[in-house]
Structure 1
Amino acid sequence: MRTIDWVNGAVEIIDQTALPGELRVLRLHTVGELIAAIQSLAVRGAPALGVAGAFGVALAARVHQDDPAALAVAVQKIESARPTAVNLARGAQRAARLLPLGPDAVLAEACAVRDDEVAASHAMATRGADLVTELCGDRPRLLTHCNTGGLAAVVLGTALGVVGELHRRDRLAGVIASETRPLLQGARLTSWELTRWGIEHRVAVDSAGPFLMARGEVDAVILGADRICANGDVINKIGSYAHALGARRAGIPFLVVAPESTVDLDTAAGTEVEIEDRGAAEVTAHGDAVNPAFDITPHDLVTAIVTDRRVIRLDRGETTA
């Protein structure tokens, strides 16, 4: 199944808030419904958000084609529905460039965004699996964070796509999926996808990751990104920075897998990125809480970045430019 697609005049998504208990498909007919799905994390993951942004503009073009002011407002709302991941705004902007040509042209471009992400997932899986084998040898044990499978993309995924390709080659020993607090995308979504793929795995609390690395139970950390800055700083789900520190201490590779659409050369460093705060309610009902949704992993802790077009070896001084 595709995580997100255009079907008979509406956007269809797998509702990720219902997993793993229920595989539920939502049909979204309006921009408001799409934005609500994005903000509730019914659809999430950088590549999937890029597609959602493009399809959102396609929805807006159909409703507001005779009202340019309302159309501009709708596009702006889509772009800013979640501020940290760059793909959402980029997908919306790419589709919006076709607005002067009419709704059909916008939809065709949105579908092209979807198709590009599908192709990117397959390219990243191959390139990433080759790199993991080069760095770690045969049958490595990998630690993942958050969810980077088909649920975060359209099909296959980013970092978890690499895991799947290693499994297909019979060159994977096992996976540790960190729970990924507070919404448990690792324990709920990654574990669900790995089970469907028949991949042996264990779930660990986030804070256990660095200790498991130190104890020699992990050969590499592999995760995705919501934005990669010009200097190589990686913006990803909260907890990624701690895994990067653990990997550096343990002397194992820390690998980031994300499409070129996530590389943001207009943002110099992670300190320039607005980090979304999800609010206290997701963490506790007893007092105040701080709940940043993402963190910043400095580029000097990253071994390599794998995209659909290249491998950037930051440990060798290569850059994203």
Structure 2
Amino acid sequence: MADQYARSREHSEPTEISAIRWDEPPEGPVLVVLDQTRLPAEEVELVCTDAPALVEAIRSLAVRGAPLLGIAGAYGVALAAARGFDVEEAAAALAAARPTAVNLAVGVHRARTAYHAALAETGDQDKAAEAALAAARTLHRQDAEASRRMAGHGLALLEELLPGGGHRILTHCNTGALISGGQGTAFGVVLAAHRAGRLRRLWVDETRPMLQGARLTAYEAARHGMAYTLLTDDAAGSLFAAGEVDAVLVGADRIAADGSVANKVGTYPLAVLARYHHVPFVVVAPLTTVDLGTPDGASIEIEQRPGHEVTEITVPQVPVAGLGGGTPVAPLGTQAYNPAFDVTPPELVTAIVTEEGVVSPVTGEALDELCARSRRVTMG
């Protein structure tokens, strides 16, 4: 089950966003997550005491973003183990909660593997639970470090592609500290540019239908004092036509072996616009998002979301009455097409920035070599 409580925070100075944390109150271990569906109106934390509560938090998008989902999946397995629940059942439910984001399954697998290895070695349930928690905490730390390194590689790439600074960057969805153990993926690069005095303007796509850009990216940009402007998704074309975009930076939920990128729906049209207008289109994602077992973009399972997310609008703290809990904006019975993601082919991607370096041009061979090099470094 999940309980919730509000917290207050001064916004006069940017503080670290804690999107997820492990806690051990007297009544037993819990996983505490920031409910992102309530932002920016209020900061409310959900306290998950079991895997089903975390699964619901993931499906409702209270917890979201590929790297953070991996961390959450690992902690979810550790939570089931620590509280004596069925670890296999919890792992299966967590891994299936959002099928497109490969990080979720990766995180679940890491904690589950650590749990079973310790159980086989010691036969001690408590030690196995401790091993699962240690695996989750390690993944959390690794993601924070990956964020830092991606920011460095991404800023260097921007300086190479756009010498002189004054970058005007367009981004889509939300890719900051709310989706990561650190400062994020694409937003982490933007933040590095901002801190280096190289950011002129951040263009924030609203990101229909769940408004992650309007609610979350704008929230993070404001916290850091960035110069940013919000736009509806369909206004991006006019920005490109006016020559107001120097680069597009986005994240990824899964990168296939050929370099195809699944990201929040609306990303692919931006890639097409960027190519037509000769603007760099850069994907920033940790290597945990690369899935060499998925051969190409057509093989990526695309999550289909409920239609009411399109036919209704939900605003935090506003009373609602629609079928999905929102205010209806379409006639009753209207069918809606609502894929959560679309796929951008590698030929439209200028570069993929990872914690281990940059892949450009984007090819399956280059991506495989980067992953292999990373494995050799890790094993060494």
The 5 A counterparts of 1:185-200 are: 185-200=212-227
**C-alpha distance after superposition, 1:262-309 (max 9, x if no partner):** 011111111101100112110005311100000000110000000011
Match for residue 171 of structure 1? Answer: 198
Tell me the CA shift for residue 74 of structure 1.
Answer: 1.5
> In the aligned structure 2, how far is the partner of 1:87 from the partner of 1:10?
21
SS in 1 for 2:199: coil
**Contact 1:3-1:13 at 8 Å conserved across structures:** yes
Q: Which of 175-184 and 149-158 deviates more?
A: 149-158
**Contact 2:30-2:49 at 8 Å conserved across structures:** yes
Match for residue 291 of structure 1? Answer: 338
Match for residue 303 of structure 1? Answer: 350
Match for residue 72 of structure 1? Answer: 88
**Contact 1:210-1:247 at 8 Å conserved across structures:** no
What letter corresponds to residue 164 of structure 1 in structure 2?
Answer: L
What letter corresponds to residue 311 of structure 1 in structure 2?
Answer: V
Match for residue 160 of structure 2? Answer: 134
Match for residue 58 of structure 1? Answer: 78
1:260 correspondence with 2:307: no
- Identity across aligned pairs (percent)? 48
What letter corresponds to residue 156 of structure 2 in structure 1?
Answer: D
Task: State the structure with more CA Rg.
Answer: 2
SS in 1 for 2:263: strand
**Structure 1 residue ranges (4+ consecutive) displaced by more than 4 angstroms after TM superposition:** 315-318
Match for residue 246 of structure 1? Answer: 273
Tell me the CA shift for residue 106 of structure 1.
Answer: 0.7
1:153 correspondence with 2:153: no
Match for residue 4 of structure 1? Answer: 20
TM score, norm. by length of structure 1: 0.96
RMSD: 1.3
> In the aligned structure 2, how far is the partner of 1:170 from the partner of 1:48?
28
Unaligned runs of 5+ in 1: none
Q: How many residues align?
A: 317
> In the aligned structure 2, how far is the partner of 1:5 from the partner of 1:134?
37
Equivalent position to 1:42, from 40, 62, 87: 62
Unaligned runs of 5+ in 2: 1-16, 119-127, 312-327, 369-380
Equivalent position to 1:28, from 48, 59, 62: 48
**C-alpha distance after superposition, 1:33-89 (max 9, x if no partner):** 100100000010001000000001001112336xxxx32121101111100000000
1:121 correspondence with 2:168: no
**Contact 1:234-1:296 at 8 Å conserved across structures:** yes
> In the aligned structure 2, how far is the partner of 1:315 from the partner of 1:32?
38
**Contact 1:280-1:290 at 8 Å conserved across structures:** yes
Tell me the CA shift for residue 4 of structure 1.
Answer: 1.0
**Contact 1:210-1:242 at 8 Å conserved across structures:** no
What letter corresponds to residue 295 of structure 1 in structure 2?
Answer: D
> In the aligned structure 1, how far is the partner of 2:107 from the partner of 2:251?
18
> In the aligned structure 1, how far is the partner of 2:135 from the partner of 2:214?
35
Match for residue 274 of structure 1? Answer: 301
Tell me the CA shift for residue 23 of structure 1.
Answer: 1.3
What letter corresponds to residue 96 of structure 2 in structure 1?
Answer: S
TM score, norm. by length of structure 2: 0.82
**Contact 1:228-1:235 at 8 Å conserved across structures:** yes
Tell me the CA shift for residue 316 of structure 1.
Answer: 8.3
Cα distance, 1:270–1:222 mapped onto 2, change above 3 Å? same
Tell me the CA shift for residue 319 of structure 1.
Answer: 2.5
**Contact 2:303-2:340 at 8 Å conserved across structures:** yes
Q: Which of 24-33 and 113-122 deviates more?
A: 24-33
